[in-house]
Every structure is written in structure tokens, then in C-alpha cells.
Amino acid sequence: MKRYQNFLAAFSTVFGLLFATVLGTADYFTPDSYLVEEGSGVNWQNNLFSVVKKGSSEVSADTRDSKTYRAELMLYRTVPVKSVQVEEVKNASVTLGGMPFGIKMFTNGIMVVGLADIKTETGCFNPATEAGLKVGDIITSVNGKSACSNLDVEKIVEGSGGRPIQFTADRGGQKVSASVQPVRDESDGEYKVGLWVRDSTAGIGTMTFYDPAEKCFAGLGHGICDSDTGRLMPLLSGDVVPVTISGITKGLKGTPGELRGYFTDEMADGTLFENVASGVYGTLNKTVEGKPVKVAMKQEVKTGPAQIYTTISGNTPKLYSIEIEKIDYRDGVQSKNLILHITDQQLLSQTGGIVQGMSGSPIIQDGKLVGAVTHVFVNDPTRGYGIFAESMLAESKNVSKQEQKLAS
């Protein structure tokens, strides 16, 4: 009897630990908030989870047409996992993108992308490093004056006569000041401070959708980052320009491919208003024509067959088959919610899989917009990441609200 009791005690302990682990895992890998269509509840495609409403609904102060309430996320409709917030919204429809667009962007400040030693008659020095400046800093002023371009910095340094230069920079939201002592370069006799800086960038991406209700577009599915530092580039201003895809560099293992194209007109098609982790957002000077498509809530997305809508030649998008292999529902995951596998043989034969320039290509499943392509796996170009369309739509609406406030 005692042996049986010990066995039961051990079994209960192990079972309790396993149960706690399951609940902890479910808590970690499930969101803390959900959007649902008016009059419906949260129903996961795999039927593991359900939401039980508790308490009365409250009208959202921001929109006046949505309601929020607290609810309990249940495992197998029986075991409570955690309390979550649910917001009822009108089901949104957008115009599908898939077409390429060009980006011309200027940074809000000047980004430090490198530091280099200067060879002088008395040795090698890096004045910027010695003064405390770092790669990734955003220079906002030089000698008390706003710095808007690389040329501004270059002129001040070259004309310093060796006198100290006062730099002010933004470092992760913190203001940093540095007094930099220029040195004379032995090779050309010019004064230098050992900084490599960048004030602009340009490239090609894919538009995910156009929201006719808000007159706002979303693209890329990830932010525009500096190629040297990997840091998000702060947006001062930017234009959307028309582009035509003229060729493809095929993706290979270890070497990402890319779409090659050219800007077809210097006149801007639109304006960028935001460059954030979930993509780029702005307005267009023209209405995008196309068939409306509903945006899926994240809990509606499931593993299995899907399609991407993208352009690999000219400026006309086409549908290509993919497989959604894995879904990460965590709130903190940005631009890497989905793992995608290209299965379309035509696309594979032409591009090798996902290539640079495809970022933002819409992902369609069961007739709804569920996400956008964001990244390619360097060692396997047939696979890559995607972001939930729900996240991009929410950011798009925030941008629209901000612009309406500025206009009023």
C-alpha cells in the first residue's frame, strides 16, 4: 500500500509539472489580445483554443464603432489559460497589392554607419570614437545647427581648421553630446573625424495593400534598415515612385537573390509617412484599382496551402503557390509570424524562391489576405518569413489617424 501511495504521489507530481508546463507554453505562445468580427468570438482553426467572454463590453474611445471586453482563453474549451482582451471590429476589406514600387527616403538626422582610423603624421587616430560616438548613432546637430545631409557634416569638418566640433546625437532615444577634435589626414591634408555617415537610401519593394477607406497603403512588411548597421532608419521624408521589374538575380544557398528594376518616372506616386518594424506606410496620389479582399484575423491563419501575389516581371502581379509551415502568434514577434515555403515550380525555376524586392508580397489563404512576405532564409531561399496582415492593417489605420490630426 505504501509503495502504491508513493507511486501515486510521484505520478501526481510529474503530472502537475507537465500540466503546468503545458499551460505555461500555451500562455507564452498565444496573444494577449484579439480582434474579432462584430458578433463573433475567437475560434482557432485547430480548435485547441476558445474564448469565453466575461464582463460587459466597452465602447472604444478611439473609434466609437468598436467594443472591447475581457475574456478567458480556454484550452480544449475546459482549462483556463489566461485572461485576454478582445476587440470587436467591422471586418475590413482592402485592395490587394502585389505590384512593385520604388522608395526614395531621407533620414531624420544622419546615421553613423562606420568608424575609421585617420592616418596622421604622428600615428593613427579615430577622433569620433575617442569622443564617444558609436555606430548607429543618429547625428541631429553639428555645432548647434541642425544637420540634414552628409554634405553638411563634410563642410563643417573640412572647414574646422582643427578646432573641436560639437556633435549632438540620438542613441536609442537618449540624447548624446560629443566634442570631436578633427585631425589632418596625412594623404590629402584634409581635416577629418573618422565618421562614415548616411542620410538617405533608395530601393524596390512590394505593396501589400491599399486601404481605400483610409487612403493609405502598406508595403514591405518590415522596416527599411541601414545595410551596414542593420538599424531601422528614422524617416524624415520619402517618396513612392513607379518602378518596372527588368530582371532577376536568382537566389542560391548562402546568396540571396533580388529583383532588378528601374524607376520609370521621377514624379512621385505618393508620400511615405512611417518607417517602422512592420513596414512602410503612406498615401498615394492615385487610387489603386483592384478587387477588394477581406483581411483575416491572426487566429484565422492556419498552416497549409496558401498563395503569394507578387511581380517578378514588368509591373503585373501573379499568384504563386506556397505552404505556411509554422505560425508564431506571440505579441512580441514582429515581421516573423509565419514561416513560408515556396512550392510553385514556375516561381522556383525563375527566382529560386524568395528574393529581395519581394518583401511585402501579399499572402492569400481561403480568399483572405492573411499576411505579407518579409524575409528570406539565406541558407534556403525556398523558405522565408511573413507577417500577419492584421498587424499591418492596424499600423496603417494608426498612420491615417495621425495624418488626419496633423491636417486638422
Region 43-55 average pLDDT: 65
The CB density around residue 190, as the number of other CB atoms within 10 Å, is 12
pLDDT at residue 26 above 70?
no
Region 347-356 average pLDDT: 93
Catalytic, out of 170, 185, 344, 380 = 344
Instruction: Tell me how far apart the alpha carbons of residues 359 and 103 are, in angstroms, rounded to a whole number.
Output: 13
86, 151 Cβ separation under 8 angstroms: no
Q: pLDDT > 90: what percent of the chain?
A: 38
pLDDT at residue 55 above 60?
no
Q: How does pLDDT run across 143-176, given as a tens digit for each residue? A: 988 877 888 888 898 888 889 999 999 998 899 9
Q: What residue ranges define each of the domains in the chain, with the CATH number in brackets?
A: 2-93 (no CATH), 117-193 (2.30.42.10), 202-407 (2.40.10.10)
Catalytic, out of 222, 269, 335, 361 = 222
pLDDT at residue 195 above 80?
yes
Give catalytic status of residue 344 as yes or no. Answer: yes
Instruction: Tell me how far apart the alpha carbons of residues 107 and 78 are, in angstroms, rounded to a whole number.
Output: 52
Instruction: Tell me how far apart the alpha carbons of residues 29 and 22 are, in angstroms, rounded to a whole number.
Output: 11
pLDDT at residue 63 above 70?
no
297, 35 Cβ separation under 8 angstroms: yes
pLDDT at residue 373 above 90?
yes
pLDDT at residue 46 above 80?
no
pLDDT at residue 25 above 70?
no
Give catalytic status of residue 185 as yes or no. Answer: no
Region 328-339 average pLDDT: 85
More confident residue, 334 or 219: 219
Rg (CA), the chain: 26
Q: How does pLDDT run across 224-281, given as a tens digit for each residue? A: 988 778 888 888 889 988 888 888 899 888 888 899 888 876 677 888 999 999 999 9
Give catalytic status of residue 199 as yes or no. Answer: no
pLDDT at residue 358 above 90?
yes
The CB density around residue 313, as the number of other CB atoms within 10 Å, is 14
Instruction: Tell me how far apart the alpha carbons of residues 185 and 118 are, in angstroms, rounded to a whole number.
Output: 6
Average pLDDT over all residues of the chain: 83
pLDDT at 15: 45
pLDDT at 213: 80
Instruction: Tell me how far apart the alpha carbons of residues 281 and 205 are, in angstroms, rounded to a whole number.
Output: 12
* Best-predicted range by mean pLDDT (28-32, 35-39, 85-89, 318-322): 318-322
Summarize the chain as % helix, strand, coil (round to 5).
15, 50, 35
Of residues 277, 388, 257, the one with CA closest to residue 324: 388
pLDDT at residue 361 above 70?
yes
Q: What is the DSSP string of 285-350?
A: SSPPP--EEEBPPGGG--SEEEEEEE-SSBT--EEEEEEEEEE---TT--S-SEEEEE--HHHHHH
Q: Are strands 33-37 and 79-89 parallel, antiparallel or unpaired?
A: parallel
Residue 33 burial by CB count (10 A; 0-12/13-18/19+): exposed, middle or buried?
exposed
Catalytic, out of 278, 359, 361, 400 = 359
Least confident of 13-17, 89-93, 278-282, 287-291: 13-17
pLDDT at residue 13 above 70?
no
Q: How does pLDDT run across 111-132, given as a tens digit for each residue? A: 999 988 988 888 888 999 999 9
